[in-house]
Amino acid sequence: MRDVTVMGGGVFGLAVAYACARRGARVTVHEARRIGAGASGGVVGALAPHVPEAWTPIKALQLEALAMAPDWWAGVAQAGGADPGYARVGRLQPLADAEAVARAEARGPGAAELWAGLGRWAVIDGAAAPGLRIASPSGRVVHDTLSARLHPRQACAALAAAVRALGGRIDEGTPHPPQTGPVVWATGWEGLSQAGIGGPVKGQAMILEHDAVGSPIVCDAGLFIVPHADGTVAVGSTSERDFTDATATDAQLEAVHARAVALCPDLAGARVRARWAGLRPRAASRQPVLGRWPGAPDRFVANGGFKIGFALAPLAGERMADLVLDGHADIPEAFAPPAPT
């Protein structure tokens, strides 16, 4: 049985740990604070494909991850007995004007080809859209059936439960632990900063008390509205490069809330249950960092999920397990950790 050490208890680290444990490795996860202490402890959890045009490796990788997500998260839930809050509920996007409607309709054939039957992209009347009412300026919305949601905190807890059920060990509050065997560094923005390959971007979000279970997620120019299965709706988020307090919420979040209510009038008057702020790991390359650290055969990096970490987690976990345990993996070269300077 091979020993594997994972540094970091966010979604990337836990996904790698789960994939390795499921293949029989003896896994230990060391988390300096607590599971989901960083960006993975957020509240939004929108999992959506990229626009079906100008295709790139990251778009293809995310599509593959979205395709495997239903079975993968079901396996996590079965292994550990905890619900990650995953469901493929689809997505609604308002369209601003006739030009936006025409662009969206033109993307339909591309979605049909690239998504290969995984989901449907259609422009429909906003009044006929399922779920939350949408105040679309044009009266039309994009409805895709490929997008999904999960609850980030529940997903991390479910992964941790699965790792433990498979014989893995998770140590919290261990900033400088011993390391055995191959080591996967998944330490979020701190790890990127220490390595000089990225840093933090702050995000703010909130949870509203409104029961819209089963409704599609709603997205509009950086705004995400995610109905969760627990009778709440998550709203986010900001994207801040300049900030003084990583955990404070402020008027920027209130502006996001106002946009959400304007877009989805059903949310007017919904009580704010909680506000959240945290730091996302953004690599300097703007791509995830997945691979072997240059010059260190038993050191690996799984980091830089930024805003799509939960969407990529199933594929990132499995491909990194391929690399760590088998020595090779189908990971785009663009995601390889950069050589030290």
Average pLDDT over residues 311-340: 94
Which secondary-structure segment (H or E) carries 188?
helix 188-195
Mean of pLDDT values over 83-109: 97
In a domain, 64, yes or no: yes
Q: Domain for residue 135, yes or no?
A: no
300 falls within a domain? yes
Amino acid 58: pLDDT: 82
Q: What is the pTM of this model?
A: 0.96
For residues 190 and 130, what is the distance between their CA atoms, to the nearest angstrom?
Answer: 41
At residue 53, does pLDDT exceed 90? no
Give the residue numbers spanning the domain of 194: 3-88+148-198+284-335
Tokens for 58?
């990251």
Model confidence at 52: pLDDT above 90: no
Residue 169 lies in a domain: yes
| Number of compact structural domains in the chain | 1
Q: Is residue 309 in some structural domain? A: yes
Confidence of residue 278 (pLDDT cuts 50, 70, 90): very high
Provide mean pLDDT across the span 164-170: 97
Residue 32 lies in a domain: yes
Say if residue 340's pLDDT is above 80: no
Question: Does a structural domain hold residue 133?
Answer: no
Please give the Cα distance from 162 to 280 (Å, whole number). 24
Residue spans of beta strands (DSSP E) within the chain: 3-7, 26-31, 46-47, 91-94, 121-125, 140-144, 148-149, 169-172, 183-185, 198-209, 217-220, 223-227, 232-236, 271-283, 289-292, 299-303
Q: What is the CATH number of the domain that holds 69?
A: 3.50.50.60
Q: Is residue 185 part of a domain?
A: yes
Mean of the per-residue pLDDT values of the chain: 95
Whether residue 181 is predicted with pLDDT greater than 90 in this model: the reply is: no
195-251, pLDDT tens digit by residue?
999 999 999 999 999 999 999 999 999 999 999 999 999 999 999 999 999 999 999
Mean pLDDT for the stretch of residues 115-142: 96
**Residue 140's pLDDT band (boundaries 50, 70, 90)?**
very high
Q: Which residue has the higher pLDDT, 51 or 330?
A: 330
